Amino acid sequence: MNHAIPLVIAHRGASGEAPENTIGAFRLGLEQGCGGFELDVHLSKDGEIVVIHDFTVDRTTDGQGAVKDMLLSELRELDAGKWFSDAFSGERIPTLKEVFELSPPELMINVEMKGGIGSGLEEALAELLRQSNRLDTVIVSSFDYKGLANLKRIESSVKIGLLYDLRMAYHWKLPAVAGCEVYSLHPGLRRLDAEDVKAAIEQGLSVFPWTVNEEEKLLQAISYGVNGIITDYPGRLRTILKSK
């Protein structure tokens, strides 16, 4: 998965223009021509992998409570679109399996492990990736490197991405910190550095910065030669790339 021009990765779907981590946001990303999704996962009380960013449903639904304390059936009752705009009323919290089902087989999907790490998420994710035939196209990322190393132990062919947003040099040395084979580095935009990108790519790693939205920053990331750009506005990035 090396890309001559950076892959356009829709952050939580096209979340600048649709409610994050919903089917509507992922569909809009596809309509705008994205080549990848970034999304966040948690484990429900009954062990389903659900796509939502926060540890609670409070901000992005009309409900309240911790995701891990709710059954899938309870999560499904919530409206995950109305908070964004009435036009998206009726959107539901999707399962990861549903997002896989709507995604073209070649689409890159960056699954960020958030909730449930060490409580069954790694096992459930490995199983779903195998069943869905998504081991080639999915990159699993996290700020929790122990969770990633555990996932890699469970399923050795999974691609691992390291998220970071720390003020430190030599980011390309992070794989040694993770203690497992690493596929990609995912720097926060304020940590994106041209020399780091060059060194990482020379070492055989891919680089996917986040969350890059402003035109000036998108142009900067493109000029650094990153492999993909995680953005809330995939349509905007596509327009820039087409004009080059």
Beta strands in the chain (DSSP E): 7-11, 36-43, 49-51, 108-113, 138-142, 159-164, 184-187, 206-207, 228-231
Closest chain position to ligand G3P (CB): 210
Q: Is 171 a catalytic residue?
A: no
Using the rule CB under 6 A, which residue among 210, 218, 229, 232 binds ligand G3P? 210
Interface characters, 100-129, with Ca ion (x: CB under 5 A):
------------x-----------------
Choice between 20 and 73, CB closer to ligand G3P: 20
48 is in the binding site of which of Ca ion, ligand G3P, none (Cβ under 5 to 8 A by kind)? Answer: none
Per DSSP, 143 falls in state: S
Tokens of 228: 């993909």
142 is in the binding site of which of ligand G3P, Ca ion, none (Cβ under 5 to 8 A by kind)? Answer: none
Choice between 53 and 171, CB closer to Ca ion: 53
Q: Is 42 a catalytic residue?
A: no
Stretch near Ca ion under the rule CB under 5 A, chosen from 32-40, 58-66, 87-95, 130-138:
32-40
Give CA–CA dist 45/120, Å, rounded: 11
Rule CB under 6 A: is residue 171 a binding residue for ligand G3P? no
Choice between 112 and 122, CB closer to Ca ion: 112
Rule CB under 6 A: is residue 174 a binding residue for ligand G3P? no
172 is in the binding site of which of Ca ion, ligand G3P, none (Cβ under 5 to 8 A by kind)? Answer: none
* Partners of residue 192 on adjacent β-strands: none
How many CB atoms sit inside 10 A of residue 37's CB? 29
Rule CB under 5 A: is residue 17 a binding residue for Ca ion? no
Q: Taking a C-beta distance cutoff of 8 angstroms, is the pair 174, 196 a contact?
A: no
Give CA–CA dist 119/84, Å, rounded: 31
Tell the smallest beta-carbon distance from residue 221 to Ca ion (Å).
Answer: 17
Choice between 74 and 96, CB closer to Ca ion: 96
Of 165, 167, 185, 166, the residue nearest 175 (C-alpha): 185
In the block, residue with structure tokens 């990153």: 226
Rule CB under 5 A: is residue 232 a binding residue for Ca ion? no
Give CA–CA dist 142/161, Å, rounded: 7
189 is in the binding site of which of Ca ion, ligand G3P, none (Cβ under 5 to 8 A by kind)? Answer: none
Helix (H) or strand (E) holding 77: none
* Partners of residue 163 on adjacent β-strands: 186
Q: What is the DSSP string of 14-51?
A: TTTTS-TTSHHHHHHHHHTT-SEEEEEEEE-TTS-EEE
Tell the smallest beta-carbon distance from residue 57 to ligand G3P (Å).
Answer: 16
Active site residues: 11, 53
Q: Which residues bind Ca ion (CB under 5 A)?
A: 40, 112
Q: Which residues bind ligand G3P (CB under 6 A)?
A: 11, 38, 40, 53, 112, 141, 163, 186, 210-211, 230
